[in-house]
Structure formats: C-alpha cells, structure tokens
Structure 1
Amino acid sequence: MATVKWWQSGLVGIGAGLPMVWAVWAFTADVSAVDGLGVILVFFWYGPMIVAFLAVAGWIAVLAVVGNGKARWRYWWWVVATPLALWGVLLIGALTSGPTGSAPEQRLGWSLVVVVIYGAVGAGFAQRAPRVVRLLASMIVVAAAPLMIVYDDASQYRWRKATFASAPQVLPVIPGYAVVAARGDGQALEVTMRGPTDLRVSVLRCRDCSVRQEYAVNGMTVVDGSFELWVPAVDNPAGHWVALDGIHVRPASIDELASLPLAVSRSAD
C-alpha cells in the first residue's frame, strides 16, 4: 500500500467523522430537553450504540485497507478510538453548556468541533507526517472543544434575550414579593417571586381582557386589562396562601428580563 500523505489522512479523518456529525446534528435539541434528562437519554442510551457502531465500522474499514500489516495499524488505530474519545468530549460540552442555548448555533459549533478534531487526528497520526503538522494537529485537538465552550458562555446573554423576544415584556408586581428569576417560554413569561412564600407566576397576553380576579385552590388568575397572570403558590399547603390585592404588571425591557437569573421551567415540575 502506498504511503498516505498527511493531508490525505486528514481528509480520511473528516470522512470518518461525518456519521458523528450526523449524530450531533440529530440529537443536539434532545440534549437540552426536559431540563437535563435529555443528556442521560442521548449519551447513556443512544451514545454507546453510536460509538460502538462507529468503532466497529472503523475497525472493519482499517482491516480491509491494511490487511494483516500490523505495522500500519499504528497509523490507523485512531479511526477506532476517536468515536469513544469524542463521546467524552461531547458529554463534557453538554454538561458545561447552558443554561440557555440556540440549537442551530450549537449544532453548527459542535459539528465543526467534530470535523476539525477528526481531521486533525487523521493528519497528526499520518505516516511520516511532518513535526509541524503533528504539533498543529495536537493544538487543534486540544483547543477545539474549549473554544466552543467559551463561545457558548459568551453567547448566553444574547441567547437569553432571544428567548424573551416573543414573551410579554413586563414583570408582575405583587405587594410584599420581589422578582428573583425569569424565563421566556414561547409566548409566555415565567417569573419566580420570593416573599412570605415562593410564587411562580405565568404571564400571558390575554384574550378576554376584562379586568378580573379568579380564585382557585392555592392560586389565582388576575387579568389587568392587557395581560393574564396565573399566580400559584409553590411548596405551600393548599388554602394557606392569602392572595393580595393590587397585583398588576409593569413594563420591563428585554435587557432587564435577560439580566435576571433563569427561572425553573414548568416542564421540570
């Protein structure tokens, strides 16, 4: 078999990484589902199956190319080992990302991480690769994932602002309570308030905007003429929370909303 040049080995690496890119593209949105349970489903259910398939496929491909030439395995073992290593890299990325994200940007970013790592590993382990190529390949492998994590951290405020774009840009005002966290959830605004008890307030643009208060067990609905608020008490025995008068909303900018800590999603209840 003719000697494979380092750039050819890099292209082989990129080709070998395409199935992993597909997996990243397919499961990125699922990773953040249900406030973290998606990480368990993707990485500890689908992940091992994908890694095992890619490792076996890589072993078969290398065996078909190099035959019984044991000396050549030293240049191709990475085809089998890289999927397992990337499983760990992507898991760390998923655990360190957030709490807010943009699925398109994360898909693209982590796909690029996979592509450049596969390509760099392929080039670095090529037979007779120049020392400078091996050095650059090592730097790329080490830096790719941390750079994506830094990008994720730097984008949090921008992504948070985007989540509030379609939600009501207001904050509830309840005598004796202070806003401590907020979350944009589609057309709804979720706000956590702290006072004599904790409140988790949902704010929606009302359909029937006649001013009223409707009481329910351990909560109430308030319509102030523009917005509808559902105000339940959290971790409070039913009937022990006395709703106060004067509940309304005030305008709030997207910057103010995005600067608040992230409220717990109702889907986590």
Structure 2
Amino acid sequence: MISLTRRVPDLDATREFYRQFGLQETSPGTFATTVGGEQLFLLAGEIPQVVEIHIGVDAATDLDQVAARLKAFGVAAERAATSLKAVEPVSGVAVRLSVAPRLPKDPPPSAPSSVERTELVRRGPLVPLRLGHVVLGCTDVERAKGFFIEGIGMRLSDYVIGGPFMRFETDHHNIVLLPAPMTLLHHTAWKVRNVDEVGYGGSQMIENHPERHAWGLGRHGASANYFWYLKDPAGAFAEYYYSEMDDLADGPYFWDPVPGTDDLPVAVWASPALEERPLIPEAMRAPLLAANEQ
C-alpha cells in the first residue's frame, strides 16, 4: 500500500480536479479509492511540494530491517513502535513506513452483467481502485535509487527514459525516479478495472476541460500498462491505468530485468505521440531527452 501527501498552491481547484477524477473526498483534502482507502492528502502551500510518501509493511520486524539497512546506508530514521520515518536525502521527501494490513486483491475486470444493451458500455461514475505508483523528479536518480533499494528494500524492475522503476509488490513499479533539475511530482497513477475505464475516465475528464489532456490513450512498453495522463491544477499529472500483466505476476521476481535484452520503449502505441504533447514538465524536458539519447 502506498499513499502520498502533497502541498498545492490552489487547494480548492486541485480538490475539485480529483473529485472529478473519481477519488472520494472523505474530509477536506483527503481522498480515498475503492480498494486502497485514503491514499491522497492535499495541503495548501505557496509552491507545489511532495511532503511524504507512506508505505505499508506487514510487521514491526520489517521496520527493524529497514532501520538497519538505512543506518548502513548512512540515513537516520525516526523509529516508533509501529512506524519508521526517514528523509530521502536527494529529493528531501519524507518516507514513512507503518504496519498496516495488506490491501484486498483487486476485483476482476468489470464485464457486462447481462445481455441488455444498456449494460454493454459503462456509463456510471468512475472510482479508481487504488493508487499504484508515484513518480518523482529529482537531481540524482542513482543516489536516490540507493535509498529506496538498499535502504527501504525495494526491487528494480526497469530503466525507462533515464529513471529506475522500482517495486515492493507484484506491480511493475510503485516508485519511479526521473532526472530533473529540482524535486517535483511528475505524476500519480490510479488503477481502474480495465482499458475501457481508462478511456472512459480520460474522456470524461477532458469533455469540458480539453486543457487537461496530456497523453493517451496508449500502452506502455516496460509495464504493459494502458494509460491516459491528465494535467492537474498543481502542475503534476494524474494517470488512469490498467494492466492485466500485474495480475499475472506470480512472485517477487516476475519483473526482474532480463540480462541482455533491449530497452523497451516508453510506449508501444499511443495517441498522440509523447513528443507532440507536454507530458514532461518544461523543467524536465532537457535532462530526460538527454538521458534517452545515451
């Protein structure tokens, strides 16, 4: 389980965006999903800022192991009975781990419940299942990667456009680091039930707000996720995604990189192409393009 706390300059506009996106606002600025519960916390701030990433663990012994690894890595951690908090030194983002129950299994892809034509296409409100991953821009992805892999204990799945894609479960990635000249939130990704919901959700979001459209519909290369990215009022992107591949991953090593294989493209197919739309914030374009050319 993963959740995110962020500061945004226009709190009211950002809250309205995520209400329309389908998240359930349980209290002002706190948003929940169907399976994941409360996973997004918005606070007012003068500039956009990632405050904290929260990760659930199974037991207090997991916290002991993380504390020992972080100490060996040279990072101090605040340890409590059922939680641990440390600051990733490159980005300055706090990472908090706490003992929490595992999320229930995602429900199977939605399908028509009868042969009535009115049920063949979804028309009701869309509520994402859970927050799947968080993507951060930072100034030194290799150093920050060490914190998450050597310290927190995540596994590396792939490198894409110069950044490590890391996981702590059978999803292809839960945290991604991308090269940038400053710390910023690139996007959050919210899992839905099938590719139809990706398209339906994206279409609904841009129906009266075409300026929200960033990239999609498409399918990523490394993770095989179907996606649609939308721009939120705080300058980050929110992604609807779905992949049957995550459901097929049968163990912790499923997504381990295969030695000697070619790098996979950012997208196998997409409309429009990445280069034609502002998916990458202007501050990130030059370092990402340079990394992609190496």
TM-score range, shorter chain: under 0.3
TM-score (norm. length: structure 1) = 0.23
Larger Rg, first or second structure (1 or 2): 1
Q: Which protein has the bigger strand share?
A: 2
Greater fraction of residues in helix: 1
